[in-house]
Amino acid sequence: MTERKLAILQIAQGLFMEKGYTATSVRDIAKSAGVEPASLYSHINGKEELLDRTCFEMAEKFLTGIEEVNDIYFDAAQKLKMAVDTHVNILTNHIDAAVVFQRDWRHLNEVRRSEFIELRNAYEDGFRVIVQNGIDEGLFSEVDVKFAALTILSSLNWIVEWYDPKGKLTASEIAANLFNFTFTGLKK
């Protein structure tokens, strides 16, 4: 990917985040990039390529992250801590792309949407493995594994709705809070 193409992709991600993929026009992207709409097409195949790249590049980052965590033989509590940390880091380091990844993957074409959902399931599976490990090791209480993994991911994913890079909480503070919340709960 050329520098120019990367720049266009990042401009598009910013607009997609702000207005949503569907509500962002090729003309919007061209205007932000400072060129005529037709000029974009010497860099990209079409608007959908920008969405596609965003969704799949993020999916790969997440998958690589969880695989690294599950390859290391720590106990489940440590693994969970690492997984939460990795997830929060990816989200906060690519907040524009993360919002698009979460919200607009539905607008991928049918084939790519299926592929995307598979990657997503694989990622969720990584969290299920951690929860199951925790139960087997006697560290976690005997919860519904699927439900627990989904709930953990809920708390992690909602970050994109309120995260502010200039806010008072750093990424690692957010991650630490989330791990505590997930592991210990509110109860005193």
Binding site for a copy of itself (CB under 8 A): 19-20, 22-23, 77, 80, 103, 106-107, 131, 134, 138-141, 143-144, 147-148, 150-151, 153-155, 157-159, 161-162, 169, 177-178, 180-188
Helix (H, G, I), strand (E, B) or coil at 121: helix
Q: Which does 31 bind (CB under 5 to 8 A by kind): DNA, a copy of itself, none?
A: none
Helix (H, G, I), strand (E, B) or coil at 92: helix
Q: Considering beta carbons, is residue 41 or 147 the nearer one to DNA?
A: 41
Could you say whether residue 184 binds DNA (CB under 7 A)? no
Span 31-50, contacts to DNA by CB under 7 A? 33-39, 41-42, 46-48
Distance CA 99, CA 17 (A): 6
Distance CA 160, CA 154 (A): 11
Instruction: Output the six-digit token pair for 19.
Output: 């207005």
Q: Which does 25 bind (CB under 5 to 8 A by kind): a copy of itself, DNA, none?
A: DNA
Q: Give the Cβ contact number of residue 171 at 10 Å.
A: 17
Q: Which does 126 bind (CB under 5 to 8 A by kind): DNA, a copy of itself, none?
A: none
Smallest separation (angstroms) from a copy of itself to the CB of 183: 5
Q: Considering beta carbons, is residue 43 or 179 the nearer one to a copy of itself?
A: 179
Smallest separation (angstroms) from DNA to the CB of 129: 39
Q: Considering beta carbons, is residue 34 or 165 the nearer one to DNA?
A: 34
Instruction: Output the six-digit token pair for 105.
Output: 């993957």
Of residues 10, 13, 167, the one with CA closest to residue 103: 13
- Stated length of the chain: 188
Could you say whether residue 26 binds DNA (CB under 7 A)? yes
Could you say whether residue 110 binds DNA (CB under 7 A)? no
Cα separations in angstroms, 148 against 36, 87, 151? 49, 16, 5
Could you say whether residue 24 binds DNA (CB under 7 A)? yes
